[in-house]
A and B are shown apart, each in its own frame.
Chain A
Amino acid sequence: MKPFRHLLILGTIGSGKTSLAYYFTKEEKRLIIVDTVFEDRYQHAGVIVHNLDQVGEILERQKRFRIVFRSGNRGDLKGVFEYARAAGDLVVLVEEASLYETMGPWAASRNKDDVFQKVVILGRHDQVKIVATTQRPANVHNLLISQSEILLGKVFETNDARYLRGLGGVTSETIEKACSLPDPALKDGRLSISYLTPLDNAVHTVDIEI
């Protein structure tokens, strides 16, 4: 039985993080996408809502849902996590997680009752899985990093590469391999994206329909 792990997708701009996140969640029947920068990819990924109460309303009424949450208020992410814990058995996909103080390096340590910390640690118990994408792993709390399966896209930033080394099996060899991953390529209406799994240093490629 595969252990319960959150999923963290790291990589620079254009490395295919959003497409990978979409690929790994497209079969989920209970999904909340926190669409931070209003990605085109999520335009048809679910019902688009703009305020937190609409998220709660859908969770109350429906057993199955795919919600694309586009809010102007980054503080709403806490509310999303609270709903997720209450509803249980769902996936929360957070785009550009490093933009949220709720998921930042200092957030969870300030308050032991922090809902983000609870979701990360008690995720298996509540069956709430976090899928997060970020360009800046140093700006994401290492609690999430330690509890996540990491997928590495192309990495350019020296400081991020330095930070990654030592995390979850990421070695210098992993970084070198990640830096030389091919860019996502479009062919015959499908996007081919390569990523690395640090634990076995294996390169994987997925073809995603556009």
Chain B
Amino acid sequence: MAETEVKPPEKETVSQVRERLSSEKEEASVADPEGETCPVPSCGRVVKYLSHHINYMAGKGERAHIEFKESQVRAPEVAEKPHFSPGAGDALVAMLLAAALAKRPNLILPDGWKERAGEAHQMVLEEHVGPWIGKRSSLAYLAFVWGELLTVNLVVARMKTADSPDSETEIPEQHPAAVS
């Protein structure tokens, strides 16, 4: 039996790549003719060549663009969008509070605590947890949540409420009806 010659798969030529990329770009521009929105908050312009725009504005001494350019080089993850939507902090506080109340139904909370705790958690989620987990798995976020739940459970187990006994070893008074 004659051997069949096996040829390696043909590679595209530069012209073929150029033609293909050009048609892909045309399709993309039809779908979305706009460029990218400048991520610098004080700018927000839609520009076609983002780095060019940022460097041009930085070269003109535009402080916000200089800082953004520096942040891109030093810590690219800072420029990523927040991973948590507004309200995520309040939701997390509500969950922690539910866990605490399950252990201590008469837990005393200072006025405004829930709102302040919600804001603080929102800041932590957006500025620290989000950039940290980045494209890592959501297991990291779950670990963060479980860690907080465990901490809350451990703390409230030892907290006093309005009607908690002063000593955990205090023996409750025997009900008169129980005296034989």
| A36 proximity list for chain B (CB < 8 A) | 51
Whether A82 and B21, one on each chain, are in contact in the complex, defined by CB atoms closer than 8 angstroms, is: yes
Whether B14 and A60, one on each chain, are in contact in the complex, defined by CB atoms closer than 8 angstroms, is: yes
Whether B74 and A83, one on each chain, are in contact in the complex, defined by CB atoms closer than 8 angstroms, is: no
| B104 proximity list for chain A (CB < 8 A) | none
Interface centre among B17, B52, B55 (most CB of A within 10 A): B17
One of A96, A99, A106, A126 near B135 (C-beta < 8 A) = A106
| CB of B34, distance to nearest CB on chain A (Å) | 13
A38-B55, A99-B72 known; A56-B49 Cβ under 8 A: no
Number of residues from A at the complex interface, CB < 8 A: 31
B73 within 8 A of A: yes
A52-B21, A60-B18 known; A72-B51 Cβ under 8 A: yes
| A86 proximity list for chain B (CB < 8 A) | 11-14, 16-17
In Å, the complex CA distance between A13 and B18 comes to 35
| B52 proximity list for chain A (CB < 8 A) | 38, 50, 70, 72
B50 within 8 A of A: yes
In Å, the complex CA distance between A12 and B168 comes to 56
In Å, the complex CA distance between A28 and B53 comes to 30
B36 within 8 A of A: yes
Whether B53 and A72, one on each chain, are in contact in the complex, defined by CB atoms closer than 8 angstroms, is: yes
Whether B50 and A82, one on each chain, are in contact in the complex, defined by CB atoms closer than 8 angstroms, is: no
Whether A79 and B51, one on each chain, are in contact in the complex, defined by CB atoms closer than 8 angstroms, is: no
Whether B14 and A96, one on each chain, are in contact in the complex, defined by CB atoms closer than 8 angstroms, is: no
A142 within 8 A of B: no
10 contacts between A and B (CB under 8 A): A13-B74, A52-B21, A53-B21, A70-B51, A72-B53, A85-B12, A86-B11, A87-B14, A105-B135, A135-B73
Binding site for B on A (CB under 8 A): 13, 36-38, 50, 52-53, 56-57, 59-60, 70-73, 79, 82-83, 85-87, 96, 98-99, 104-106, 126, 135-136, 139
| A-B contacts besides A60-B15, A86-B12, 9 pairs, CB < 8 Å | A13-B73, A53-B25, A57-B18, A72-B36, A72-B47, A72-B50, A86-B11, A86-B16, A98-B76
